[in-house]
Amino acid sequence: MERVCFTLQVRPERLDEYKQRHQGVWPEMLRALSETGWHNYSLFLREDGLLIGYLETPDFQNALERMEALEVNQRWQREMAPFFKGLAGRPDEGMMRLEEVFHLD
């Protein structure tokens, strides 16, 4: 299982709305994530807007490609894009993946 950690930057003035949106993620989006290999997926948000994402998946590149092909993901990415700073495209294209340097197993 591949462990993936990434960062994005949420606009500080939109933090509350960003958190609210994630309290009601669309059921079809939740299903899509699960069905395309996004497991144990979590998001953590610092008060300055630093967003840390973590997930486990058999193949991250495959999981990204499978999500990209889904209409529900296209809609979600369009709606979420205005929440982020420094993006040239969609949030799922702007994730800055972090290198894993230690894992206690």
- Over the stretch 8-61, which tens digit does the pLDDT of each residue have? 999 999 999 999 999 999 999 999 999 999 999 999 999 999 999 999 999 999
pLDDT interval class at 88 (50, 70, 90): confident
Is 22 one of the catalytic residues?
yes
What CATH number does the domain containing 15 carry?
A: 3.30.70.100
Residue 103 lies in a domain: no
For 96-104, what is the mean pLDDT? 94
In angstroms, the CA 34 to CA 89 distance is 24
pLDDT, position 99: 95
In angstroms, the CA 91 to CA 69 distance is 15
Residue carrying the six token digits 């499978």: 66
The total domain count for the chain is: 1
Whether residue 62 is predicted with pLDDT greater than 80 in this model: the reply is yes
Give the active site residue among 3, 19, 22, 78.
22
Q: Domain residues for 18?
A: 2-98
